[in-house]
Structure 1
């Protein structure tokens, strides 16, 4: 198992969290996703390390910006 944390900017509400969760859940190997608009954090648990570029692209597709924390 691999857990990676990202800082996400621009999220303000539950809808934002759902949008990010929806896009990130499409990534292969992801087993759990924690998203918090309050803390601006995204924590991904996966079977194996997930490509950072894929995560950043998924968050971008949801309309937000992320960096690995």
Structure 2
């Protein structure tokens, strides 16, 4: 298991957090997701075989930007 923190821009409220969490939770191998719009972060606990690119793509599909 890995814990990853991703910087995300565009989240402005609790609803935004829920949108991101729902998008990331759909990925196989993701165990926990916690978005924080005040810190502009998403923390993910995931299996080792879940790629960063897959996490980023899920967040971007939800309409938010992943910061490098």
Counterpart of 1:52 in structure 2 is 52
- 1: distance between equivalents of 2:60 and 2:39? 18
Counterpart of 1:13 in structure 2 is 13
Provide structure 2 residue ranges, at least 5 long, that are not aligned to the other structure: none
Deviation at 1:8, TM superposition (A): 0.3
Question: Which consecutive aligned stretches of 4+ in structure 1 deviate over 4 angstroms post-superposition?
Answer: none
**TM-score for both structures, normalised by structure 1:** 0.90
Number of residues paired by the alignment?
68
SS in 2 for 1:55: helix
Aligned-pair Cα RMSD in Å: 1.2
Provide structure 1 residue ranges, at least 5 long, that are not aligned to the other structure: none
**TM-score for both structures, normalised by structure 2:** 0.91
SS in 1 for 2:26: coil
SS in 2 for 1:6: strand
